[in-house]
């Protein structure tokens, strides 16, 4: 495929052959655990994006202590190779991958195609939860802040041409016809997009089976939209930060863009800000 960092992706075949490897922890990450409870890959721990990968009080990611506790409960040590997969074309698995990188656990991978590809291939699922021996994962000392964009970073990007903003939501969300996809509860008071953002839906980066497109096709996609133009300073956003994690992964690890950040506040933050500039319609 010619990816810059092919080591961060594994196939379903690879996963099936390494389920029992020592030093490896398979984790299914879903928006909730309904899918996991109905059947998951043998040995996989289940993470709930809503309750475990978000702070339960503040609108924020888990802090360092909470994330270390989550890894401890999953039986992960600093040396464990974590393989992530999940529902919705790995949106939430990519979000978990992003969190792992933020907190310094770089030994992580995505199972290409996620849960849907595993099921489509007729591979077995089990309902019993694995017996996990908890560890004492150390609380990270640092956070890789270069991977995360916050509101001030977006505000600064609006004042310069050095940073490209990439809106990975659907065209209907981007132009302001809808605030959120049907059935989604996390929303905003105003529809539209951040002025100047290019609309490159996350789905354009994947093939029909949910796997990432080859390097050359991805490069053509983002170069054609003038996102990659030699400056390579990019901020990706969506509605709640999960779809943009997927695009962030493609840009950083598959195409090798060094300065790309995920704005996890995304539209549920920007679309609720008093006085924040919003554009509607196509640009």
In 3D, which of 84, 137, 78, 145 has the Cα closest to residue 105? 78
Is 262 part of the annotated catalytic residue set?
no
Asked whether the beta carbons of 221 and 205 are under 8 A apart, the reply is: yes
- CA 111 to CA 144: how far, in whole Å? 23
What residue ranges in the chain does DSSP mark as E strands?
9-10, 24-30, 45-48, 81-86, 108-111, 164-167, 198-199, 233-237, 259-262
Burial category of 139 from C-beta neighbours within 10 Å (exposed 0-12, middle 13-18, buried 19 and up): middle
Q: Give the active site residue among 41, 74, 238, 254.
A: 238
- Cβ-Cβ contacts under 8 Å for 175 (sequence gap 6 or more): 192, 193, 280, 281, 282
- Cβ-Cβ contacts under 8 Å for 194 (sequence gap 6 or more): 154, 158, 165, 167, 237, 270, 277, 278, 279
| Residues labelled catalytic | 238
């Amino acid at each position: 495929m010619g990816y810059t960092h092919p080591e961060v992706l594994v196939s379903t075949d690879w996963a099936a052959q390494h389920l029992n490897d020592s030093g490896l922890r398979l984790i299914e990450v879903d928006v909730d655990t309904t899918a996991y409870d109905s059947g998951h890959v043998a040995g996989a721990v289940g993470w709930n994006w809503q309750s475990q990968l978000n702070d339960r009080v503040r609108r924020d990611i888990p802090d360092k202590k909470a994330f270390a506790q989550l890894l401890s409960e999953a039986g992960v040590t600093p040396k464990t190779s974590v393989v992530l997969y999940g529902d919705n074309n790995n949106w939430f698995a990519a979000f978990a991958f992003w969190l792992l990188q933020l907190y310094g656990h770089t030994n992580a991978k995505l199972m290409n195609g996620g849960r849907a590809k595993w099921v489509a291939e007729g591979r077995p699922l089990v309902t019993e939860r694995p017996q996990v021996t908890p560890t004492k994962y150390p609380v990270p000392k640092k956070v890789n802040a270069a991977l995360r964009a916050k509101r001030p970073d977006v505000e600064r990007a609006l004042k310069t041409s050095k940073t490209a903003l990439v809106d990975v939501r659907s065209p209907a969300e981007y132009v302001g016809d809808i605030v959120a996809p049907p059935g989604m509860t996390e929303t905003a008071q105003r529809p539209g997009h951040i002025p100047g953002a290019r609309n490159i839906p996350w789905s354009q980066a994947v093939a029909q089976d949910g796997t990432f497109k080859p390097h050359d096709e991805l490069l053509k996609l983002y170069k054609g939209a003038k996102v990659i133009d030699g400056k390579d300073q990019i901020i990706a956003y969506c509605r709640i930060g999960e779809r943009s994690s997927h695009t962030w992964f493609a840009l950083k690890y598959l195409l090798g863009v060094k300065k790309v950040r995920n704005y996890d506040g995304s539209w549920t933050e920007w679309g609720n800000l008093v006085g924040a500039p919003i554009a509607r319609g196509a640009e």
